[in-house]
């Protein structure tokens, strides 16, 4: 039976039928959005951005700033994921609220909150601190969800024999985490961390180069460097910036991710060693390094020995079998009082948000509807173009090991380059062509969506059983018959999985692609992303709230009505 891809598994809770928890979470999200907009009304009318130096010598400093923001967001994502995973996996009451919360949050195009987050934080904090925190929060929202689901799924899928063994030996919480839960989830967490960093680059670049009217929210970093170079038409500086970005991604791959993958191979649950285990020259160098061995023996090991007893004393013992979750026995009146208080606050703020929405005219609602349709058409065009080339390319790579050895590393590096980093370059190329920003917006969506599809299709093609390929050869099926009876049905579940993630990436890209400042002038086109960005620049906060809520409802509705039906079809008809 064919294993679905990782994103296919993560998509399952996303595509559940709506429940009462979804309604509560949506109201809460709308309330938080309203509160953020109210704070944003107090933001300065004019914000001067920093001067960006295009000298190549300043690039290492900008790379360090960008990596620092990514690292802070990743640490925050890991802390959130660990807490979320334990609460959702060990407490049924918490699970009823946490899973619908993530359902809604991962369905929402997060860049739609970019102007609101910047405005609300700039109203209550010093400007530079507000912009740095906003950037980190936005990167966190792109990294946290899949890591949280991966940790939660690992906790709930630990083999029963291992859970019972830890119970029999009365492992404490810390000992169980150290010897069972974290090793079991290590490979999943590393792969999802790699995916989170790839997605984080997109949001990092978007936050570093964001402007809205007279408010310049730019931050010094690789994103603002590339935008400034493109604005000045300095192609040499653009190439320097792209080169620094590629070198940074390659360095992370060689010095962090590949060593971690090679190290995590020891945690596979298998009786026979893999024929082609992951390898890393840097990991091998560390293992043979006397200096690293000395650091481990003299620093890391003594610290671990001292911390272990302390954490063992602080962590409680296992009072019930792992995996048998139960709600904590809180007094009922406390739960009822807290629920009533939360409901009262939620309804009051929802009422205030409704009053703010009353300031949106019928004409503006009509513009929002037209913008949603226009953006949806661009999303659809990007998906169709991506499918047209990723299906044949994915099958070619996935069914040819020799070709995969050459192309997969190239594809991984290319996919890690964020589309927002290339957007200024695209504008330079298409700004004088017919369509201008319409063409550039579709191209940016394509750059942000095609890799989700390609990697899933490669995974699907490589998972086709060899005996079925031999059968099609013995039956002497023609090329079209082979595609019709084998490749397309086998790839359908993977294509649906990739399309779900790709559609979300395309909606996200609309926020920065439909309204932008370039070469001293504002470029805009019809679309919901342009409405949100332009309303933010003009201070039209009722329209910002209305457009963002309309966007959330549209994306969630499409996920439930369109992708859920295709997902069910893939589950029922197109799996081995």
Q: Please say if the pLDDT value at position 215 is more than 70.
A: no
In a domain, 292, yes or no: no
Residue 93 lies in a domain: yes
Which of 200-204, 389-393, 562-566 is most confident?
Answer: 389-393
- The verdict on 255 and 373 lying in the same domain is no
pLDDT at 366: 93
- 46 is a domain residue: no
Give the model's pLDDT for residue 104.
58
What mean pLDDT, rounded, does the chain reach?
75
Question: Would you say residue 431 has pLDDT above 70?
Answer: no
Q: Which of 4-18, 99-113, 432-446 has the lowest mean pLDDT?
A: 4-18
Contact in structure between 461 and 397 (CB atoms under 8 Å): yes
User: What are the Cα distances from residue 250, in Å, to 246, 255, 395, 411?
Assistant: 6, 8, 26, 12
pLDDT at 145 over 60: yes
Q: Three-class SS of residue 51?
A: coil
Alpha helices (H) in 254-300, listed in sequence order: 258-264, 281-288, 290-295
Please say if the pLDDT value at position 380 is more than 60: yes
545 band by pLDDT with thresholds 50, 70 and 90: confident
Q: State how many domains the chain has.
A: 3
- Residue 239: inside a domain: yes
Give mean pLDDT, residues 175-200. Answer: 80
Q: Is the pLDDT of residue 486 over 80?
A: yes
Give the model's confidence band at 74: pLDDT under 50 very low, under 70 low, under 90 confident, else very high.
very high
Tell me which of 147 and 363 has the higher pLDDT: 363
153 and 241 together in one domain: yes
Residue where a domain stops, chosen among 268, 284, 315? 268
Average pLDDT value for residue range 471-495: 83
465 and 408 share a domain? yes
| pLDDT of amino acid 371 | 92
CA pair distance 228, 213, nearest whole angstrom: 16
Looking at the fold, whether 117 and 233 belong to one and the same domain comes out as: yes
Overall average pLDDT of the 438-455 stretch:
79
Asked whether residue 375 falls in the same domain as residue 411, the answer is yes
CA 73/CA 64 separation, integer angstroms: 14
Mean pLDDT of 508-527: 75
Taking residues 486-494, what's their average pLDDT? Answer: 84
Which residue carries 């589950």 as its tokens? 571
User: Among 55-59, 349-353, 384-388, 465-469, where is mean pLDDT lowest?
Assistant: 349-353
Residue 323 lies in a domain: no
The top-scoring range by mean pLDDT among 32-46, 85-99, 148-162, 263-277 is 148-162
Give the whole-angstrom CA distance, residue 525 versus residue 109: 19
Q: Is 109 or 207 the better-scoring residue by pLDDT?
A: 207
Q: Residue 11: which region, alpha, beta or left (left: phi > 0; alpha: psi -120 to 50)?
A: alpha
Among candidate residues 268, 291, 316, the one where a domain is terminated = 268
Q: How many CA atoms lie within 13 A of 505 on its CB side?
A: 29
Q: Where is average pLDDT lowest: 503-512, 529-538, 549-558?
A: 503-512
| Banded model confidence at residue 185, pLDDT cuts 50, 70, 90 | confident
**Is residue 388, in this structure, part of any structural domain at all?**
yes
Summarised one tens digit per residue, pLDDT across range 382-413 is 999 999 998 998 888 877 766 766 776 677 66
The pLDDT, as a whole number, for residue 110 is 61
Q: Are 453 and 386 in contact (CB under 8 A)?
A: yes
CA distance 209 to 527: 20
How confident is the model over 528-532, as a mean pLDDT?
86
Q: What does the alpha-carbon distance between residue 379 and residue 375 come to, in Å, rounded to a whole number?
A: 6
Are 143 and 247 contained in the same domain?
Answer: yes
- Nearby residues of 228 by Cβ (< 8 Å), 6 or more positions away: 52, 54, 237
Closest CA to 215 of 536, 521, 525, 437: 536
Q: Could you tell me the sign of the dihedral formed by the alpha carbons of 243, 244, 250, 254, in that order?
A: positive
Token pair recorded at residue 374: 């226009």
Closest of 513, 505, 514, 381 to residue 449, by C-alpha: 505
| pLDDT, average across residues 338-344 | 69
In a domain, 317, yes or no: no
pLDDT at residue 374, as a whole number: 92
Whether 228 and 355 share a structural domain:
no
Q: Do 348 and 367 fall within a single domain?
A: no
Arithmetic mean of pLDDT, 258-266? 82
Q: Is residue 75 part of a domain?
A: yes
Nearest to 62 by CA among 253, 247, 254: 247
Looking at the chain, how many residues does it have?
576
> What per-residue confidence (pLDDT) applies to 193?
82
Query: 332 or 374: whose pLDDT is higher?
Result: 374
d(CA 520, CA 518): 6
Q: Which of 27-41, 340-354, 364-378, 554-568 has the lowest mean pLDDT?
A: 27-41
- Let me know if 559 is exposed, middle or buried by CB neighbors in 10 A (0-12, 13-18, 19+): buried
Do 202 and 105 share a structural domain?
yes
pLDDT tier for residue 10 given thresholds of 50, 70 and 90: very low
> Within this chain, do residues 156 and 167 fall inside the same structural domain, yes or no?
yes
| Mean pLDDT score, 284-300 | 79
Min mean pLDDT across 216-225, 243-252, 516-525 is at 516-525
Residue 134's Cβ-side half-sphere holds a number of Cα atoms within 13 Å equal to: 31
CATH number at residue 569: 1.10.3720.10
Closest CA to 448 of 414, 406, 408, 404: 414
Please give the Cα distance from 561 to 15 (Å, whole number): 9
Share of the chain above pLDDT 90, in %: 6
Alpha helices in 157-276 (DSSP H): 160-168, 173-176, 182-208, 222-231, 235-252, 258-264
Full residue range of the structural domain in which residue 474 is found: 361-576
One domain, residues 480 and 500: yes
pLDDT at 43 over 60: no
259 vs 353, more confident? 259
For residues 237 and 352, membership in a common domain is answered with: no
Task: Choose one of 214, 247, 268: the last residue of a domain.
Answer: 268
Whether the predicted pLDDT of 61 surpasses 60:
yes
pLDDT in tens, 226-242: 878 877 878 888 889 88
């Amino acid at each position: 039976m064919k294993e679905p891809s990782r994103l296919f598994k993560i998509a399952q809770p996303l595509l559940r039928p709506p429940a009462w928890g979804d309604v509560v979470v949506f109201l809460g999200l709308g309330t938080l959005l309203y509160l953020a907009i109210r704070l944003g009304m107090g933001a300065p009318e004019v914000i001067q951005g920093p001067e960006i130096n295009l000298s190549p010598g300043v690039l290492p400093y900008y790379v360090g700033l960008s990596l620092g923001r990514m690292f802070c967001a990743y640490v925050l994502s890991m802390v959130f994921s660990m807490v979320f995973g334990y609460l959702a996996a060990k407490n049924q009451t918490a699970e009823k609220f946490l899973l619908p919360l993530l359902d809604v949050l991962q369905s929402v195009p997060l860049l739609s909150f970019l102007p609101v987050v910047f405005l609300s934080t700039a109203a209550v904090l010093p400007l530079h601190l507000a912009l740095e925190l906003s950037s980190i929060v936005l990167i966190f929202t792109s990294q946290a969800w899949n890591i949280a689901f991966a940790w939660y799924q690992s906790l709930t899928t630990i083999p029963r024999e291992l859970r019972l063994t830890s119970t029999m030996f009365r492992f404490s919480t810390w000992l169980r985490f150290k010897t069972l839960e974290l090793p079991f989830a290590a490979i999943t967490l590393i792969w999802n961390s790699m995916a989170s960093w790839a997605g984080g680059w997109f949001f990092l670049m978007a936050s570093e180069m964001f402007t809205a009217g007279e408010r310049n929210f730019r931050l010094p970093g690789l994103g603002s460097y590339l935008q400034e170079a493109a604005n000045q038409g300095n192609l040499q500086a653009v190439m320097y910036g792209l080169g620094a970005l590629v070198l940074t991604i390659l360095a992370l791959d060689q010095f962090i991710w590949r060593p971690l993958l090679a190290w995590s191979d020891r945690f596979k649950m298998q009786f026979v060693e893999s024929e082609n285990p992951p390898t890393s020259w840097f990991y091998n160098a560390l293992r043979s390094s006397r200096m690293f061995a000395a650091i481990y023996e003299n620093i890391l090991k003594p610290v671990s020995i001292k911390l272990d007893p302390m954490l063992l004393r602080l962590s409680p013992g296992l009072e019930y079998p792992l995996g048998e979750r139960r709600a904590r026995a809180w007094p009922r009146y406390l739960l009822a009082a807290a629920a009533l208080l939360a409901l009262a606050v939620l309804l009051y703020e929802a009422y205030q948000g409704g009053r703010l929405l009353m300031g949106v005219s019928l004409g503006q609602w009509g513009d929002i509807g037209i913008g949603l349709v226009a953006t949806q058409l661009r999303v659809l065009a990007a998906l169709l173009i991506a499918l047209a080339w990723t299906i044949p390319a994915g099958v070619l790579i996935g069914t040819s090991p020799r070709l995969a050895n050459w192309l997969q590393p190239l594809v991984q590096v290319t996919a890690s380059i964020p589309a927002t980093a290339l957007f200024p370059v695209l504008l330079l190329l298409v700004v004088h062509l017919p369509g201008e920003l319409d063409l550039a917006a579709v191209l940016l969506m394509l750059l942000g969506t095609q890799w989700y599809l390609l990697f899933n299709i490669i995974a699907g093609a490589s998972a086709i059983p060899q005996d079925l390929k031999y059968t099609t050869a013995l039956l002497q099926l023609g090329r079209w018959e082979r595609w019709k009876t084998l490749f397309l049905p086998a790839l359908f579940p993977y294509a649906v999985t990739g399309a779900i993630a790709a559609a979300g990436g395309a909606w996200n890209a609309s926020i920065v692609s439909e309204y932008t400042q370039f070469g001293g002038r504002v470029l805009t086109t019809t679309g919901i992303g342009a409405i949100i960005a332009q309303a933010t620049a003009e201070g039209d906060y009722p329209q910002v709230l209305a457009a963002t809520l309309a966007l959330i409802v549209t994306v969630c509705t499409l996920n439930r009505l369109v992708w859920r039906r295709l997902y069910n079809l893939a589950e029922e008809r197109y799996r081995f």
